[in-house]
Structures are given as structure tokens and as C-alpha cells.
Amino acid sequence: MSATWWRGGVVYQIYPRSFQDTNGDGIGDLPGITQRLPYVASLGVDAIWISPFFPSPMRDFGYDVAGFCDVDPIFGDLSDFDELVRAAHALGLKVVIDQVYSHTSDQHPWFAESRSSRDNEKADWYVWADPKPDGAPPNNWQSVFVGSAWTWDARRGQYYLHNFLTEQPDLNLLNPRVHEALLDVARFWLDRGVDGFRVDAVSHFVHDPLLRDNPPSTKPGSRSRPFDFQEHRYTVDRPETLAFLERLRRVLNQYPGRFALGELGGPGVGGSEEGRYVSPTRLHSAYNFFFLRSAAPTPLLIQQACAEWESGHGDGWPTWVFSNHDAPRVVTRWGGEAGDRRYAELMLALLFALRGSVCLYQGEELGLPQADVPFERLVDPEAIANWPLTLGRDGARTPLPWTAAESNGGFTTTEPWLPIDPRHVAMAVDRQEVEPDSSLNVTRRLLGLRRRFAALRHGDLRVTADDPSVLLLERSIHAERLLCVFNLTADSRQQRLPPGDWQALAGQTRADGGTLHLPPYGYAWLICGSSGSAQA
């Protein structure tokens, strides 16, 4: 693959705790990923993204990093990681790993030193502030999960900032020495052969040095957390973030073909916010939570998302994501009770037809719905704090089902860290492998077409959203022209096709003259002209 392999590429996200257990402790591990890499390669993806596997007390399941340059023993060791990279590269897969630069665990040695006094070498590596005269926190900032973003530390006689859990103190990315330490972490993994980074929580990298209060939010919407009541003017999407991203990009440029994908999880959505981050001197690409937090898609919603990116990014390149480890699975989140295999395949076809790169979350290719995890088995602190108002994250993190007839779906030989939904077992990989029209095999055929036709990978995009039920995406490059049509409703629809000799590539529709007949949640990929046809 070329140095721009990521441009239009498909990255398969692996949540290592739930992918494959090889040592019988109920938790997935790096050897398990290596064991299953041939399956991942068979999907037709370009790369894998592995969520954190670094040493951690696991209060936030790896995103509370206690050591940046090692592997937590529950996942294996560095030799296991090196073998994983070698095996992935041998299969033609790039390897992208998470980098968590916004914060660390409170068990990280850096924080232990920083909190020990106000004048040690790392005293200003984290965000510390004196209390107000009455002992209250320095300002009104709220954490993403629950409650104040400030926690009192008696050893320093100060508060420390944490945008997430109390156990995740924020690094001070206004400090150039912190930059240097984090860039050394990046070099460590690049030297071990990784092909890129998914950079976590970019929107939360930097705080307002004046510690000004956030104003109240005036936006409508549900408010289940104190965080939702504020406009995050002084804690999210700060312009000072760009200096660090530019330094990170200069490091990446020293390793040809490497890639940086930013997670922009702040409340701001749209091109103007993200356009600052994606450029030839900063991130290669980024995704936000637009689709992860939006209502079920309509043609106008898809048009809005695409238009906002194009208007704000210029030549920047988007990455689209419908599901990940931080959001309920798309089949349930958008499909609700109607979320069956038809809906799952519709979402796959829509995701793969968008202009940009794609992140495909493990199990999305199987059409898995959100798992049902009873309250007594919840482990996610956000899910527990907000139960039962939200679906939480545990239901998207349950183990992947490999073999229907084996205990625990072939994931482990013992009780798994999260329970496996019986509905998932019935949708296991081995069952779908032998069903020609399973979600798994439809995924393979769609990704095969995406690789085959440059218009789907690199082409221009034209969105037509005139009908409130039917979305049209036209993809074109040079003489190659494709039309992707989606019925986003549970009712049958008809759609007049634009002039041209349209031939079906994928979908379960039929054409009658110039009219396309779309069943409920039906879709069609068509090509204009005689260049190649393959029914999926």
C-alpha cells in the first residue's frame, strides 16, 4: 500500500479485552488478536486499530494509562505485541494503536511525583490549582462522567483537574516538557513498527490557563450529567492544542507512511471546529461523535454531516464511524426494535459509501445489536453512574462470538469479564461464514467493491436528500460514476434513477426501467456504464 494507504481505507477497531482470550482468564489478549488476524484480513480491511493494552489499573479499562511504553500483563508482553505487528504486516494489514495524551492514571509514576510536592521536577506536569478562599474548587468545570472536574489532593494542598474519572488526572499540555515526554512515547511505538495512532480525546488536550468559568449551555437537548449543563468554552477545543499536534506531526513525518487519526469528542460538531485539526501540518484525519450521538439518520442528517465537513476542512480527509467502544451499537441505537439484519446491512452499505476513511468496530460486520448486560454485571463507571437512563458502554464491549456451539461463543474457556448475549451467540462468526447472504459475507463483498472501484475510495461525493426517506450518494472519479441509494425507512419506496446505463453492483433491489424498487431498509449500489458488475 502507498504512503497514503489510510486515504479511503477501512480500519477495523479491536477492543482487546473482548476479542479473543487465549490464556483462560476471561479477558482477551494480544495473542488472541494475532490468532484471529486471518479472519480480520479476510474482511478486506486495510488496518487494525487496537484500543489500549498498556499497563493500567483499569478504572477506565485501559484509557487510564499507568505506563505508556509497555503492555499490561493481562494482555501479554512486548514480545507478544511485536509478534502481532509482524503477523499483521505479513497479511497486508497496517497496525494503528491508541495514544492517550490527554491524561494518565493516578497510578502513573509521573503523577506520583507531581503530587508529592509543589517544587519537584514534575510539579507542573499536571494541572494543579489553589482552592477558592472558601475551599471550593477553582472554578465550575464539570467532568465528562459525573461531578466536578476538580479533586482535592491533601499532599499538595491543591486541586487537580480531571476531565474524565477522578483517577484520570489531566496532563498539562501547556508545558513543553510534557510535549517532549509524550513525543518520546510516540517514537517508542513507531520504532516498534506501528503504522499510526488513533489519538484519544484530542478536544480535551488543553485547558484555559486563566481557569475561567464555563458559561451555562443554551443548547436544547437531554441533560443527564452536570457536564451537559455547560458550554465548554474554556475546557474543550482550545486553540493551544494545535502546537502539540504540529510537533506530533513532525515526528510522524520522520516515519514515512505513518498516520494520525484524531478523536474529536467535544460537544462542538462540524467543519469549523475540526478544520483546525486536520491539515498537512497536524492530523491526517479525524472523526467526531456526530453520528455516535445523533438520532437515527435521515437523508438531511447525512447531507448535513457531509456538508459540514466539506465546508470546514477544505482538502482535509474525514473518517466516519457509526459504532465504537464508547457508544451503543448502531443496530440498536438507530434501528431500535426494527434493528435486524436488514438494518445492519443498510448501515454497512451506507458507511462504506461515504467519502472518507472508515472505522469498522468489531462485531459491526456481524450485525450485532447492543448486548443486554444486567445491572449487577455492569463494570463501566459511566454506565453505573447513569443507569438506567442510558444504554451505557458495556453493551457495546461484550466479547465477540466466534463459535456458536462452544461455551462463551468460543471467546474463552471460563467466565468472561462481561457476559455474552445469547442473541450474539446465534450470530457467531462460524454460523455466518457458511451463510452466503449473512452480514459477514455482505461486508466482505461490499469491501471488495470498495477496493475495486476508485470512486468509492477516493472519488467526489454528491448528496441528494430531496426525499425525506431516500438518500442518494453519487461517487465519481474520472469516467467512473457510481450511485448509492438508501431507503432509510421501514416502508417500501420507489426512486427514479438519473439518466444513464445503471447496472447493479450490490443490494436487494430491482429496477423497472428507470425506477428502482427499494424494499424496507433496502439499498443499491449501481455503476453507470459497462465497467464491471458484481451482485452482493
Q: Which residues contact 513 (CB under 8 A, 6 or more apart)?
A: none
* Strand partners of residue 2: none
Nearest to 443 by CA among 453, 429, 455: 429
> Which three cell numbers mark 469?
426517506
CA-based torsion, 79, 84, 85, 89: positive or negative: positive
Measure Cα distances from 427 to 43, 87, 377, 382 in Å: 16, 27, 22, 28
Between CA 496 and CA 511 the distance in angstroms is 9
Active site residue 200: yes
Given a contact cutoff of 8 angstroms between Cβ atoms, the answer to whether 277 and 262 are in contact is: yes
Eight-class DSSP state of 414:
S
Given a contact cutoff of 8 angstroms between Cβ atoms, the answer to whether 358 and 394 are in contact is: no
Specify the residue for cell string 467519502: 355
Between CA 12 and CA 19 the distance in angstroms is 12
> Which three cell numbers mark 356?
472518507
Active site residue 191: no
- What's the distance, CA 317 to chain centroid? 16
Number of H helices, E strands in the chain: 15, 19
Eight-class DSSP state of 206:
-
> Which three cell numbers mark 440?
459477514
Q: Which residues contact 426 (CB under 8 A, 6 or more apart)?
A: 404
* Strand partners of residue 147: none
Between CA 131 and CA 242 the distance in angstroms is 29
Between CA 282 and CA 271 the distance in angstroms is 15
| Distance between start and end Cα atoms, the chain | 25
Nearest to 322 by CA among 284, 352, 342: 352
Count of beta carbons in the 10 Å neighbourhood of residue 187: 15
Between CA 127 and CA 160 the distance in angstroms is 6
Q: Which of 195, 263, 273, 382 is catalytic?
A: 263
Q: Which residues contact 366 (CB under 8 A, 6 or more apart)?
A: 400, 401, 424, 427, 428, 429, 432, 439, 440
Q: Which of 46, 64, 170, 200 is catalytic?
A: 200
Between CA 496 and CA 240 the distance in angstroms is 50
Given a contact cutoff of 8 angstroms between Cβ atoms, the answer to whether 302 and 368 are in contact is: no
Sheet containing 523-528: give its strands across: 460-464, 470-477, 480-487, 523-528, 502-507
Using DSSP bridges, classify how beta strands 510-512 and 460-464 pair: parallel, antiparallel or unpaired: unpaired
Eight-class DSSP state of 66:
S
Catalytic residues: 200, 263
